[in-house]
A and B are shown apart, each in its own frame.
Chain A
Amino acid sequence: MLEVVLNDRLGKKVRVKCNEDDTIGDLKKLVAAQTGTKAEKIRIQKWYTIYKDHITLADYEIHDGMGLELYYN
């Protein structure tokens, strides 16, 4: 179980608890539940790497407390 921080640099900073074997798509759903935007509209990036929906957090080596960038489609 880990906690990820997503920041969109415009005022939305959200901490989400998730499992290592959750996919990015699941993470987007959790973020959508917390922020109120639709899950399809969310884009999660790290610098210029756009994270794909079907890959798990463990495979992207996302650890506890890591910060990700939140963008919108």
Chain B
Amino acid sequence: MANRTDPAAKSIRGTNPQNLVEKIVRSKIYQNTYWKEQCFGLTAETLVDKAMELDHIGGTYGGTRRPTPFICLILKMLQIQPEKDIVVEFIKNDDYKYVRVLGAFYLRLTGTDIDVYRYLEPLYNDYRKLRMKSADGKFILTHVDEVIDELLTKDYACDIALPRVKKRWTLESHGILEPRKSVLEDDFEEEEEKEENEQMDAVENGVNDEKDYHHGRSPTRERDRDRRRDSHRYRDRDYDRDYDRDRGRGRDRDRDRDRDRDRDRDRDRYRLRDEKDYSRDRDRDREREGRDRERRDRDRGGGRRRSPSRSRSRSRDRKRRRSPSPRRDGGEEAKKKEKKKSEKKEKKDDGTDHPDPEIAEANRIRASLGLKPLK
């Protein structure tokens, strides 16, 4: 009786809502004393009281996989199916962070994609600490926004498999959602503007000022910048055309710069999550733009001196590309030796090129899991 779902409850994702929790975990919850004592005959109102008493989140823990009160309450919510307004109230409330996370988790399990993104993303700004019980029974420190990030990106949390939601950019491309505005965006913009202004000044004021500009900084930064500048100067050889066009674009109008920056940043943000969903053209464009932006940021007047010092830079680059230690020996031999050493090391390290194919396969799996190869 106590474990039956409310007959008036709707079915979620085509099945009894309690089936969102797997059979084994569900049985463990039913046998748990917290469930039997506290969760008997709970309604939406009394559920709030129980939720306020929560002091940690988590799934199952210990050798016998005991459930936490958090996960018992989740199953209770699935059983009674509170209204959407109540769940949104849980999420919006600011005082009790565990109630918030409980509401967010329930919405992630039962809500539509749009609701999930709309209600969970504001919680990214909440960075309060949470106590989480790990699988071995110890408590771990985590934060509200970390938990929300897990809910939105991973597909397994607190021993419950999270249902699939559409990727954010799919909804954006349909116009259902707007692109995400992060609260930190203003801070980023300020920093970027500062950097760009400095860089623009350096380029426009000419070579002399650049020297002063470099002297003003700490020596390590100067070295880094020089190294970076030189290291990609030989790249300029390949990307001449792009670079010229880019320089013009970068210096022309502030508005364009801002627009490019925003576009790049937005795209960069989604690149990690949604790469496979983008079509290949957009990938290429975005990569090119990302590279252009990099070059714009890093190229501090190096392009100006590009033509006259080109031959010099080329020879300098060739020297620099060689490994630093055996420079005295005279180049070729040392290079060959290093290559051999690195090849040998690779063979031993991974073990994936073992002659026996079975062992090689096993070693490949082990490497992907982060284990050492077989002995």
Point out residues on A near B: beta carbons under 8 Å: 1, 17-20, 22, 26, 29-30, 33-34, 38, 40-41, 50, 52-53, 72-73
Contacts and interface: CB of A to CB of B under 8 A. Distances in A.
Contacts of B366: 30
B375 A19 contact: yes
A1 B351 CA distance: 13
B18 interface: no
B136 A73 contact: no
B24 A17 contact: no
A72 B24 contact: yes
A20 B359 CA distance: 16
A50 B372 CA distance: 25
Contact of B374 (A18, A33, A34, A73): A18
B374 A53 contact: no
B31 to A, nearest CB: 14
15 contacts: A17-B358, A17-B374, A18-B374, A19-B374, A22-B371, A26-B369, A26-B371, A29-B371, A30-B365, A33-B365, A34-B365, A38-B156, A41-B24, A73-B24, A73-B25
B219 interface: no
Contacts of B371: 22, 26, 29-30
Given A17-B359, A40-B135, A73 B65 contact: yes
Contacts of B375: 1, 19-20
A52 B63 contact: yes
A17 B375 CA distance: 10
Interface in B150-174: 156, 159
Given A1-B375, A30-B366, A33-B365, 5 more contacts: A17-B362, A20-B375, A26-B371, A40-B159, A73-B65
B60 interface: yes
A18 B373 CA distance: 9
Nearest to A38: B156
Nearest to B65: A73
B348 to A, nearest CB: 15
Interface string B311-325: 000000000000000
A30 B24 contact: no
Given A40-B159, A52-B63, A19 B136 contact: no
B60 A73 contact: yes
A4 to B, nearest CB: 12
A50 B159 contact: no
B372 A19 contact: yes
Nearest to B366: A30
A64 B25 CA distance: 33
Contacts of B136: 53
Nearest to B161: A38
A52 B369 CA distance: 19
Contacts of B156: 38
B244 to A, nearest CB: 50
B58 to A, nearest CB: 12
A1 B374 contact: yes
Given A1-B374, A40-B135, A50 B362 contact: no
Nearest to B371: A26
Contacts of A53: 136
The listed residue with most A CB atoms (<10 A of its CB), out of B25, B63, B359, B368, is B63
A17 B374 CA distance: 8
B323 to A, nearest CB: 34
Interface in B337-375: 358-359, 362, 365-366, 368-369, 371-372, 374-375
